[in-house]
Amino acid sequence: MAPKVLIILYDGGEAARNQPKLLGTTENRLGIVVVTSDKEGPNSVFRKEIVDTEILITTPFHPGYLSKEIMDTAKNLKLCVTAGVGSDHIDLAAANERKITVAEVSGSNVVSVAEQVVMTMLNLVRNFVPAHEQIISGGWNVAEIAQDAYDLEGKVIGTIGCGRIGYRVLQRLEAFNPKELLWFDYTDLPADAAKAINARRVDTLDELLKTCDVITVNCPLHEQTRGLINADKLAMMKKGAWLVNTARGAICDRMAVVKALESGHLNGYGGDVWDVQPAPPDHPWRTMRNPLGCGNAMTAHYSGTTLDAQKRYAEGTKDIVDRYLQGKPQNPANVIVENGQYASKAYGQRK
């Protein structure tokens, strides 16, 4: 485990902010460690500091988008660590060209997300959000809520991607007595894991889309999943189906989702991930609703950052940095790209 480092310096205040050479201040931390949330635009701390950074630690919850162009300026960069799971905010192809290692803390928040998926499904199917809003605003109208409320029991529920999260979602859903559980993934489950759940694998995404009442997205964002759920795919879904996406916002086409929900083809869309984060105040996913005024269960990106998860991904981040500093190999489960190659099979099918 990497040691905790305590640095005691003097406060520089305004002077330190104006003069970055005031390295001996708490603000500039001897130039060893920079911590910032300022990540957007050419004058951001991210863009200024990346030029001589060797280890970049980012989090998916407030992603520092490391594009190829920004990587071109990062001459010393060797290691990108994602404190959490999901490294799509790093241009992985560009990292490979430069032999930059990208690692994440695999498994650190998969239960946190699986619980959120089940919660979001229940919220949508049982029409919880409008029911709660009605109470807060002083109302009491049972029919208005019940007209769009159903049971999860007896529904066909499927996951796109059956890795750590998708599998855990299926495990938890068994307790709700669904009609059938389905999964679509190009990767096999280990034989014992496949046997341990009462779920059927489907051969194509289209079959999953056409068959399910409730669908959850649990694959990473990569070049084969960006915009995967577009207008054509949404049209394949059953009328009145619900879609839960806690994977990555950009897997679903922004306006296609809005249109499908507003037309009533989708009865609900919920999740915590957005195609850009933080989501702008006028992002249409904040306010979209189905024709009954229901069907929106969106939140800020928080499912994988519960306090329990934060402990795990903080420890995992320290472990990755520690191994790097000591020249030890990384835990293979955490490595996304290394030595110019994809080490993970989850970021797209390749030869």
CA atoms of 111 and 93, how far apart (whole Å): 29
CB 259 within 8 A of CB 286: no
CA atoms of 272 and 276, how far apart (whole Å): 12
Closest CB to ligand NAI among residues 62, 179: 62
CA atoms of 264 and 268, how far apart (whole Å): 8
CA atoms of 120 and 260, how far apart (whole Å): 18
Residue 279: Cβ-neighbour burial (10 angstroms; 0-12, 13-18, 19+): middle
Q: Check binding of 89 to ligand NAI (CB under 6 A).
A: no
User: Is 65 marked as binding a ligand?
Assistant: no
Sheet holding 180-184, edge to edge: 200-201, 180-184, 156-160, 214-217, 241-245, 266-271, 296-298
**Would you state the structure tokens that stand for residue 337, as one six-digit string?**
């790209």
Contacts with ligand NAI by CB under 6 A: the residue count is: 32
Q: Hey, what amino acid is at 326?
A: Q
Looking at the annotation, which residues are catalytic? 109, 248, 277, 301
User: Is 173 marked as binding a ligand?
Assistant: no
Residue among 290, 233, 238 at smallest CA distance from 259: 290
User: Is 287 marked as binding a ligand?
Assistant: no
Q: Identify which range of 125-133, 139-147, 213-221, 317-325 contacts ligand NAI by CB under 6 A.
A: 213-221
Closest CB to ligand NAI among residues 43, 204: 204
Taking CB under 6 A as the criterion, the residue among 13, 186, 201, 339 binding ligand NAI is 186
Taking CB under 6 A as the criterion, the residue among 237, 304, 320, 335 binding ligand NAI is 304
Q: Check binding of 229 to ligand NAI (CB under 6 A).
A: no
Q: Check binding of 220 to ligand NAI (CB under 6 A).
A: yes
The nearest distance, CB 75 to ligand NAI, in angstroms, is 29
Closest CB to ligand NAI among residues 47, 89: 89
Q: Check binding of 230 to ligand NAI (CB under 6 A).
A: no
User: Is 344 marked as binding a ligand?
Assistant: no
46's torsion region: left (phi>0), alpha (psi -120 to 50) or beta? alpha
Q: Check binding of 173 to ligand NAI (CB under 6 A).
A: no
Q: Check binding of 275 to ligand NAI (CB under 6 A).
A: no
Sheet holding 341-342, edge to edge: 55-58, 79-82, 101-104, 335-338, 341-342
Measure Cα distances from 146 to 48, 140, 167, 178 in Å: 54, 12, 31, 21
Q: Check binding of 285 to ligand NAI (CB under 6 A).
A: no
Q: Identify which range of 66-74, 137-145, 162-170, 234-242 contacts ligand NAI by CB under 6 A.
A: 162-170
Stretch 113-132: interaction string toward ligand NAI, x if CB under 6 A: x-------------------
Taking CB under 6 A as the criterion, the residue among 76, 187, 230, 339 binding ligand NAI is 187
Q: Check binding of 160 to ligand NAI (CB under 6 A).
A: yes
The CA-to-CA distance between both ends of the chain, in Å, stands at 36
CA atoms of 320 and 103, how far apart (whole Å): 8
Taking CB under 6 A as the criterion, the residue among 58, 82, 123, 303 binding ligand NAI is 303
Residue among 335, 351, 322, 314 at smallest CA distance from 92: 335
- Which residues of this protein are in contact with ligand NAI, per CB under 6 A? 84-86, 109-110, 113, 160-166, 184-187, 218-221, 224-225, 246-248, 272-273, 301, 303-304, 346
Query: Which residues fall in the annotated binding site for substrate?
Result: 85, 109
Query: Which residues fall in the annotated binding site for NAD(+)?
Result: 164-165, 185, 220-224, 246, 272, 301-304
